[in-house]
């Protein structure tokens, strides 16, 4: 067997995807112009799939902070946090994040992926139980592969299913760590977090909440679903990323548990990789300040935009993810249609994400849109119009609904 033969099936489906035109997995932004526009294939394209929820990638204060930090401290740390890569700025950002969540401890990692991979896999070990939602992000599944703990999955967003799993474990001596997400990245649905926390605590477990897509977007102060449903003081660990609302790259975990700091000398994905460069830390600190100062205004804009896109596409007859949210998933009938509609959208100057199995729950094929407070209502109305026209060409929409939308 050749070294790559084990991937033959994957390669075959990828070849099929590429055979008919532009490859959604290698599309290149020739030049990014703003949080909502880029040049792709020589054409000005509207970006509706970037997770840039507050549009902070071009914020002048964040940009300047990054430039200044590069001048002051160089382009990179060239080492990990436990060696030469531990700068005062890292600790300052950790203190600010801990304060933002009202928690005692915070650890910053080089990516959000590594926060989940490293911290979740380190919290549990032989004899413990990691109890995860079946639709968990790849980084959570990869944490499962790195631990000796027993992995147990429960039905997506189903408190009864979680309870059944924990009930079965109630006489087992090991720690039980439950992992859920604030907003799920593919369908954009939120977790029933209140019952999840209640059940976990009743059975003596710990709960980790990944707020990758909900930081900034949810909660009175942007602290995510934990704040929105009033369980911030009951959850054990909040994990998040800098690569979405905060417009950069990196990850973090906050907690109130004494003993948390041991993770710095036990988490391999923290210890054995270079720390974030000064420019990133500086822009994230600036972005966090903006979230704290202007979050309410940016959130209102974001949710207005969510309503424009979600309601517009629903009225046109598209099948969407179950609830309003910064991720709007449009359900497609199969992979070929997904890629076909995606290409037609790109040719019409609109970029969204293709999401197909195995990355999606339930084998769904999706066009995944993500919104930004930086989008204008006009831009999103345009997306509804363009997608409706393409949906009609592909026979995805009932004709009478198309007429009603066009008339209205």
Ligand X SMILES: Cc1ncc(COP(=O)(O)O)c(C=O)c1O
Binding site for ligand X (CB under 6 A): 111-113, 116, 137, 139, 181, 185, 210, 212-213, 241, 243, 251
Closer CB to ligand X, 232 or 246, in the complex:
246
CB 24, CB 31: distance < 8 Å: no
CA distances from 209 to 121, 132, 134, 194, 244 (A): 14, 11, 14, 12, 16
Closer CB to ligand X, 55 or 247, in the complex:
247
Residue appearing with tokens 């896999």 = 121
208: left (phi over 0), alpha (psi -120 to 50) or beta: beta
* Whole-angstrom distance, CA of residue 369 vs CA of residue 229: 25
- Closest chain position to ligand X (CB): 112
Closer CB to ligand X, 286 or 390, in the complex:
286
Least separation, in Å, of the C-beta of 186 and ligand X? 8
Least separation, in Å, of the C-beta of 382 and ligand X? 26
Least separation, in Å, of the C-beta of 35 and ligand X? 17
Least separation, in Å, of the C-beta of 243 and ligand X? 3
Least separation, in Å, of the C-beta of 398 and ligand X? 33
* Whole-angstrom distance, CA of residue 329 vs CA of residue 355: 9
Least separation, in Å, of the C-beta of 127 and ligand X? 27
Q: Extract long-range pairs of 252-255: CB within 8 Å, 24+ residues apart.
A: 252/94, 252/97, 252/106, 252/107, 252/108, 252/109, 252/115, 253/106, 253/107, 253/109, 253/115, 253/119, 254/97, 254/98, 254/101, 254/103, 254/105, 254/106, 255/103, 255/104, 255/105, 255/106
Least separation, in Å, of the C-beta of 211 and ligand X? 8
Least separation, in Å, of the C-beta of 244 and ligand X? 7
Least separation, in Å, of the C-beta of 80 and ligand X? 17
Q: Which helix (H) or strand (E) is 357 found in, with range?
A: none
* Whole-angstrom distance, CA of residue 276 vs CA of residue 187: 30
* Whole-angstrom distance, CA of residue 78 vs CA of residue 71: 16
Closer CB to ligand X, 180 or 365, in the complex:
180
* Whole-angstrom distance, CA of residue 403 vs CA of residue 408: 8
Q: What is the DSSP letter of 276?
A: P
Q: At 354, list the tokens.
A: 């293709």
DSSP 165-183: HHHHTTT--S-EEEEEESB
How many other β-carbons are positioned within 10 Å of the β-carbon of residue 332? 25
Least separation, in Å, of the C-beta of 138 and ligand X? 8
Closer CB to ligand X, 210 or 236, in the complex:
210
Closer CB to ligand X, 353 or 373, in the complex:
353
Cis bond before residue 97 (omega within 30° of 0): no
Closer CB to ligand X, 39 or 249, in the complex:
249
* Whole-angstrom distance, CA of residue 111 vs CA of residue 12: 30
Least separation, in Å, of the C-beta of 191 and ligand X? 11
Closer CB to ligand X, 322 or 398, in the complex:
322
Q: Is the Cα torsion angle 13, 39, 276, 209 positive or negative in sign?
A: negative
Closer CB to ligand X, 169 or 271, in the complex:
271
Closer CB to ligand X, 163 or 227, in the complex:
227
Closer CB to ligand X, 251 or 312, in the complex:
251
Full strand arrangement of the beta sheet holding 31-34: 31-34, 37-40, 43-47, 350-351
């Amino acid at each position: 067997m050749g070294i790559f033969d084990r991937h033959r099936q994957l390669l075959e489906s990828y070849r099929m995807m590429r055979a008919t035109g532009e490859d959604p997995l290698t599309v290149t932004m020739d030049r990014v112009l703003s949080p909502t526009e880029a040049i792709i294939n020589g054409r000005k394209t509207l970006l509706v799939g970037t997770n840039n929820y507050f549009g902070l990638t071009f914020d002048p204060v964040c940009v300047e902070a990054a430039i200044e930090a590069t001048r002051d401290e160089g382009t990179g740390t060239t080492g990990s946090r436990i060696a030469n890569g531990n700068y005062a700025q890292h600790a300052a950002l950790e203190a600010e994040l801990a304060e933002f969540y009202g928690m005692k401890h915070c650890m910053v990692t080089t990516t959000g992926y590594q926060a989940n991979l490293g911290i979740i896999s380190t919290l549990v070990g032989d004899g413990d139980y990691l109890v995860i939602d079946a639709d968990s992000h790849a980084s959570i599944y990869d944490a499962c592969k790195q631990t000796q703990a027993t992995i147990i999955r429960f039905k997506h967003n189903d408190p009864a299913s979680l309870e059944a799993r924990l009930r079965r474990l109630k006489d087992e001596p090991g720690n039980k760590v439950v992992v859920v997400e604030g907003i799920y990245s593919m369908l954009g649905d939120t977790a029933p977090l209140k019952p999840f926390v209640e059940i976990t605590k009743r059975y003596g477990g710990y709960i980790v909440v990944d707020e990758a897509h909900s930081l900034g977007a949810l909660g009175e102060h942007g602290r995510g679903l934990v704040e929105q449903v009033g369980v911030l003081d009951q959850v054990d660990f909040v994990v998040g990323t800098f690569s979405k609302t905060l417009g950069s790259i990196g990850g973090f975990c906050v907690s109130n548990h004494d003993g948390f700091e041991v993770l710095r000398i036990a988490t391999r994905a923290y210890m054995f990789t270079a720390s974030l460069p000064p420019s990133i830390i500086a822009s994230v600190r600036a972005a966090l300040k903006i979230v704290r100062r202007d979050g309410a205004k940016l959130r209102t804009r974001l949710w207005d935009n969510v309503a424009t896109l979600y309601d517009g596409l629903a009225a046109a007859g598209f099948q969407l993810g179950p609830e309003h949210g910064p991720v709007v998933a449009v359900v497609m009938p199969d992979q070929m249609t997904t890629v076909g509609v995606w290409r037609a959208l790109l040719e019409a100057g609109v970029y969204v994400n293709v999401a197909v199995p195995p990355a999606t729950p339930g084998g769904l094929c999706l066009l995944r849109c993500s919104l930004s407070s930086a989008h204008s209502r006009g831009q999103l109305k345009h997306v509804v119009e363009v997608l409706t026209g393409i949906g009609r060409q592909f026979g995805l929409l009932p004709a009478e609904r198309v007429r009603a939308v066009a008339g209205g």
